Structure 1
Amino acid sequence: MTMLNRRTFVQLAGTAAAGAHLQTLTALTPQAPPQPTAANNNIQFALIGAGIQGQNDTRVALQVPGTKLVAVADCYDGRLTHSKELWGNGTPNNVDLFTTRDYREILSRPGIDAVIIATPDHWHKQAAIDAMRAGKDVYLEKPMIHLYSDGPEMISTARSTNRILQVGSQRVSSVIYAKAKELLASGAIGQLNMVSARWDRNSSLGAWNYTVPPDASPETCDWPLFLGSAPKIPWNAEHFFQWRKWTDYSSGVAGDLFVHLFSGTHFITGANGPTRAMATGGLRFWKDGRNVPDVLLALFDYPQGFNLSLRVNFVDGGEESEGFLFTGSEGTLEITGNAVTVNRVPLEKEPGYTISTFATATQQQFLEQYRQKYASTPTGTPYAGVEKFVAPHGYSDSYDHFHNFFSSVRTRKQPVEDATFGFRAAGAALLSNLSLERGSIIHWNPETMKLT
């Protein structure tokens, strides 16, 4: 196989027959490499929320040329210590890393251009608004909102402050999803009528049972600051470190995983969101005190003429599995891992017939008329083919998403996933929670981004 650079697809094209020959073709034009950045022209950024996702985000962000981490905020002292171990003096980042429990101390510091916000969901709105008002650009982890009332204020603040706000659903920057979008728009599978997506898991960590450190206590953790707008309860280490399991801080599987599936669907189809949602599910296995479901299924109607079905199952009996299946009138398009596969099955040109129960003379009469009408149409099953497009080994859509964010910071151009896109993805995802809670169908206007 021809070696291609990291921003190029490898197309593996063949037929549906077993043992088909595979050809290697370039399928996408490579993006221009990042421009060299002078040493004194770094984008200096801070991390707010140094948990699992926050630290992973920072590792990727620092791979983008011309970036420098200068500060970290987190409510747990152990993560501040580890951030210095990873990125302070004597490390490749080699800076006098400022750390604090209170992110507002970071926002008041000069020389910080942008922040990565990877806090629990219930802090997303306030932290993002505070950062934008302090003149910082924002990379905000998904879901953008925790409550529907969060969205309009976040959008208006981004506009009024002229700050960049990019939401962290990296599929919007993925070459895999860009290829899927191109294929769908080209009519590769005909008229789209249904999208099915899933994100299943089958492990304790996958179900958010994150490790509680042995030194966890009110002395090492700023519990009042963590709670913020959430109900005030006594210290609880599980709530602090496993916050995704409770609605006071989290949006459940809808906000953690459905929102990725919505971002992908909206990017590929160009849709703004569904008009109707219905969901079911519940706590089927992880009955450990959490109050969010571990199984959630939902159906959505889109005004473009297709339906979306989503599923998350935290007890699926197998390995973690994520994927999409786009079904059209002339084939399917499937995304799994770092590949997109198109299975073309064009509709037959002839309608066919069922005449065996008619009188013999009637059958003959019909056949004469039928052959005259379709005499020029080739007979037999139309050609069916399979094409598979695979990203290069080691490809990272997270890197591309951060590259796009920092490019927006430099150019002041709107990001690939701005606040409006982020609100529409999260707003659609949270319809599932609302439907499950009310036990009814929920209506949504994707243009005005309001419940109806």
Structure 2
Amino acid sequence: MTDKDFDLTRRSFIDRVMMATAGAGMAAAAPWAVSAASAAGADPVKANPVRLGVIGTGDRGRTLIQNINKTRNCAVVSICDTYAPNLAKARQWVGPTTRVFSDHRAMLDAGGIDAVVIATPLHLHARHSFDAFDAGLHVWCEKAMARTIADCGAMVTRSQAANKVLQIGHQRMFHPTYLNALKRAKAGEIGSLTQIRASWHRNNAWRRAVPADATDRQINWRLYRDSSAGLMTELATHQLQVGNWFFDAPPTRVIGSGSICFWKDGREVYDHVALIYEYSGGRKFIYTSLLNNARYGCEEQIQGSRGTIEPELGRIYQEVPAKVLALQRMQKDVARGHKRTVPIGGATWFPELPVTTPGESLGWGEYDETMLQFEGFGAAVRAGKPLPGLLRQAYQASVASLLGEQAMDRGEAMTWPTNLVAI
């Protein structure tokens, strides 16, 4: 792809985000996307970019660097990781003048950056964010926000006290297909939303080989309780944000069950979770995640009285009218004085199997929502204020994921906290 081809693709992508967020109700439902798309389309050249220092250059950190490189308003000027092999792998994605650090405080003290990107293990997010705010920097942090609900709130209050942007990496909030799905749901196309079913199923141990120069907890931090809530913070938080977004509210309470069901290898976090989040009006978000069967993969089913939206698959489906049984049809015909042939072998009962209609597409092909969220972050840093509504969504999704962990651990329903930070 040439630079010209990329410019055309990018322009088309931004146009489609604007299309998806245009219309009644969307300014309230996704104000950040409108702001981000507008800002991304306004900067014709990559001049005076926001200077980013990336803390954490593992697999996710390196992917983020590649996405940042595509933006028009951000540039990676410093990278940091305590594990030398990660830094070595990241060098291919940064320029020759990019500064390299093994200690994040040294990177902060060196200056020359406007903001940090945090892609470290979950339990380090809060500490790294606090240090960045103390250094007068803005923060983009991977989801989930932090290991505890208290630390999630502290990240918000510290960003507010420092008057700095805090943005969390929930890329679905910038995804054109999801934005279009939300627009059509808000327009009433699938009726009243009463249930969302979501899953993220994989078939692997989620365990990585440990090199001779590292420890298991350093490489496999997702498998240990002090550094991660496992499936809840690494996967479920994405889909809980989607549920809160479409229901336009956080849950009121959650019940659930978690177990180490298959991978009995010394891990501390569950490899199989099943939860029900309750929302006002009796609405439900039903979530499952497991690590030994990938048949249903990652999906969400937004279910309404008139149809269903599956944004991960990019489809919208209308409800199919129920079939009329032969005897019921004959009874109606007699009442109206109508006559028609009655098939002797006609069905008197139909199995209620899944509907397999093809539905309608919600997507537009290839796009890069992670790039757009960084362009939005760059615009927020330049303006000195966060994209509207974005942090609240991320904060509530992180709280919901950690509350679900508590419900499973305690074996009891957990109600939504009343002492959360106001955003």
Q: TM-score, normalised by structure 1?
A: 0.76
Q: How has the CA–CA distance of structure 1 residues 201 and 8 changed in structure 2, closer, same or farther, with 3 Å as cutoff?
A: farther
Tell me how far apart the structure 1 counterparts of residues 92 and 363 of structure 2 sit (CA, whole Å).
37
Aligned to 1:449: 420
Deviations 1:251-306 (A, max 9, x none): 210001110001122233322x1111011121122111111111111001011541
Worse-matched range after superposition: 309-318 or 117-126: 309-318
Aligned to 2:380: 408
Aligned to 1:16: none
1:35 and 2:43 correspond? yes
Of residues 378, 385, 397 in structure 2, which corresponds to 1:425? Answer: 397
Q: How has the CA–CA distance of structure 1 residues 400 and 328 changed in structure 2, closer, same or farther, with 3 Å as cutoff?
A: same
Of residues 301, 314, 324 in structure 1, which corresponds to 2:300? Answer: 324
Q: CA deviation at 1:94?
A: 3.3
1:177 and 2:184 correspond? no
Q: Could you say which structure has the higher helix fraction?
A: 2
Q: TM-score, normalised by structure 2?
A: 0.80
Aligned to 2:130: 129
Aligned to 2:209: 211
> After the TM superposition, which residues 131-170 of structure 1 pair with which residues of structure 2 at under 5 Å, given as runs?
131-170=132-171
Give the partner amino acid of 1:78: P
Q: How has the CA–CA distance of structure 1 residues 155 and 58 changed in structure 2, closer, same or farther, with 3 Å as cutoff?
A: same
Pairwise CA RMSD of aligned residues? 3.0
Identity %, equivalent residues:
26
Aligned to 2:243: 265
Give the partner amino acid of 1:440: E
Tell me how far apart the structure 1 counterparts of residues 310 and 85 of structure 2 sit (CA, whole Å).
42
Tell me how far apart the structure 2 counterparts of residues 155 and 109 of structure 1 sit (CA, whole Å).
25
Aligned to 1:186: 187
Aligned to 2:361: 388
Give the partner amino acid of 2:190: I
Q: CA deviation at 1:61?
A: 1.1
Deviations 1:81-120 (A, max 9, x none): 3333432xxxxx231x222222111122222101100111
Equivalenced residue count is 374
Aligned to 2:85: 78
Q: How has the CA–CA distance of structure 1 residues 414 and 27 changed in structure 2, closer, same or farther, with 3 Å as cutoff?
A: closer
Aligned to 2:266: 289
Q: CA deviation at 1:80?
A: 2.2
Q: CA deviation at 1:333?
A: 1.2
SS of structure 2 residue aligned to 1:336: coil
Give the partner amino acid of 2:261: R
Give the partner amino acid of 1:294: D
SS of structure 1 residue aligned to 2:127: helix
Aligned to 1:20: none
Give the partner amino acid of 1:35: D
Tell me how far apart the structure 1 counterparts of residues 187 and 358 of structure 2 sit (CA, whole Å).
16
Aligned to 1:300: 277
1:252 and 2:249 correspond? no
Contact residue 180 and residue 268 of structure 1 kept, 8 A: no
Deviations 1:319-347 (A, max 9, x none): x711111111111111234x2x2212287
SS of structure 2 residue aligned to 1:211: coil
Q: CA deviation at 1:448?
A: 4.5
Aligned to 1:5: 12
Q: How has the CA–CA distance of structure 1 residues 304 and 137 changed in structure 2, closer, same or farther, with 3 Å as cutoff?
A: farther
Deviations 1:130-161 (A, max 9, x none): 11121111110010021111122211111111
Q: How has the CA–CA distance of structure 1 residues 38 and 80 changed in structure 2, closer, same or farther, with 3 Å as cutoff?
A: closer
Worse-matched range after superposition: 138-147 or 152-161: 152-161
Stretches of structure 2 lacking an aligned partner (at least 5 in a row): 1-8, 23-33, 338-356
